[in-house]
Structure 1
Amino acid sequence: MANATPTTSPAGTQDAASLDDGALAASGRRVFEVERDGLAAVSARIDGQFSAACRAMLSCTGRIVCIGMGKSGHVARKIAATLASTGTPAFYVHPGEAGHGDLGMITDRDVVLALSYSGESDEILMLLPVLKRQGNTLIAMTGRPQSTLAREADLHLDVSVPAEACPLALAPTASTTASLAMGDALAVALLEARGFTSDDFARSHPAGALGRRLLLHIADVMHSGDEIPAVGPDATLGDALLEMSRKRLGMTAVVDADRRLLGLYTDGDLRRSLSDPATDVHGTRIEQLMTRTPVTIDADALAVEAAQLMETRKINALLVIDGERRVVGALNIHDLLRARVV
Structure 2
Amino acid sequence: MSKDLHLNDIARQSFIHDIYELQQVSERIDWSSLAKAAEIISIADQVVCIGVGKSAIMAKRCASTLTSIGKKSMFLHPIEALHGDIGIISSGDVVLLFSNSGNTEEVVSIIPYIKTRCKAIIGIIGNVNSAIGTSCDIVIDASIEKESCPLNTVPSSSLLVTTAVTNALIAAITVSSRITKDIFATFHPAGQLGRNLLLTVESLMIAGKDALPFVESTMMLKDVIIMMSKKGLGCAIVSENGRNILGFITDGDVRRCLQNNDDLSAMKAENIMSYSPITIQPKATLGDALSLMEDREHKIGVLPVCDEQGNCIGIIRLHDIAGHIR
Q: Is the 8 A contact 2:149 2:155 kept in 1?
A: yes
Structure 1 residues 43, 276: closer, same or farther in 2, change over 3 A?
closer
Q: Is the 8 A contact 1:221 1:339 kept in 2?
A: no
CA deviation after TM superposition for structure 1 residue 73, in Å: 0.7
Which protein is bigger by CA-based radius of gyration?
Answer: 1
Of residues 122, 129, 151 in structure 1, which corresponds to 2:105? 122
Q: Any stretches of 5+ residues in structure 1 without a counterpart?
A: 1-16
Of residues 28, 33, 40 in structure 2, which corresponds to 1:56? 40
Q: Is the 8 A contact 2:219 2:268 kept in 1?
A: yes
Q: Any stretches of 5+ residues in structure 2 without a counterpart?
A: none
Q: Does structure 1 residue 298 correspond to structure 2 residue 280?
A: yes
Distance 1:290 1:44 in 2: 57
Letter in 2 for 1:307: M
Q: Is the 8 A contact 2:38 2:176 kept in 1?
A: no
Structure 1 residues 245, 154: closer, same or farther in 2, change over 3 A?
same
After superposition, residues 107-118 of structure 1 pair within 5 angstroms as 107-118=90-101
CA deviation after TM superposition for structure 1 residue 115, in Å: 1.0
* TM-score, length basis structure 2: 0.77
Q: Is the 8 A contact 2:93 2:118 kept in 1?
A: no
Letter in 1 for 2:273: T
Q: Does structure 1 residue 261 correspond to structure 2 residue 245?
A: yes
CA deviation after TM superposition for structure 1 residue 64, in Å: 1.8
Of residues 294, 311, 314 in structure 2, which corresponds to 1:326? 311
Distance 2:9 2:258 in 1: 64
Of residues 4, 23, 38 in structure 1, which corresponds to 2:6? 23
In structure 2, the partner of 1:90 is 73
After superposition, residues 1-342 of structure 1 pair within 5 angstroms as 20-47=3-30, 49-60=33-44, 62-85=45-68, 88-207=71-190, 209-225=192-208, 226-230=210-214, 243-257=227-241, 259-264=243-248, 266-267=250-251, 279=265, 291=273, 293=275, 295-299=277-281, 300-301=283-284, 302-308=288-294, 312=297, 315-340=300-325
CA deviation digits over 1:185-209, x for unaligned, max 9?
A: 2122333444544555455455555
SS where residue 154 of structure 2 aligns? Answer: coil
CA deviation after TM superposition for structure 1 residue 113, in Å: 0.5
SS where residue 79 of structure 1 aligns? Answer: helix
SS where residue 336 of structure 1 aligns? Answer: helix
Distance 2:108 2:173 in 1: 27
CA deviation after TM superposition for structure 1 residue 105, in Å: 3.6
Distance 1:29 1:278 in 2: 61
* TM-score, length basis structure 1: 0.74
RMSD in angstroms over aligned alpha carbons? 3.7
| Worse-superposed segment, 87-96 or 154-163 | 87-96
CA deviation after TM superposition for structure 1 residue 134, in Å: 1.7
Structure 1 residues 312, 336: closer, same or farther in 2, change over 3 A?
farther
CA deviation after TM superposition for structure 1 residue 250, in Å: 2.4
CA deviation digits over 1:242-294, x for unaligned, max 9?
A: 65455321233344446333555554566657997775xxxx99767773726
Structure 1 residues 107, 228: closer, same or farther in 2, change over 3 A?
farther
CA deviation after TM superposition for structure 1 residue 313, in Å: 5.2
SS where residue 253 of structure 1 aligns? Answer: strand
Distance 2:9 2:264 in 1: 72
CA deviation after TM superposition for structure 1 residue 27, in Å: 2.0
Distance 2:139 2:16 in 1: 26
Q: Is the 8 A contact 2:46 2:94 kept in 1?
A: yes
| Worse-superposed segment, 87-96 or 265-274 | 265-274
CA deviation after TM superposition for structure 1 residue 307, in Å: 1.5
Letter in 1 for 2:294: Q
In structure 2, the partner of 1:6 is none
Q: Is the 8 A contact 2:224 2:269 kept in 1?
A: no
CA deviation after TM superposition for structure 1 residue 138, in Å: 1.2
SS where residue 118 of structure 1 aligns? Answer: coil
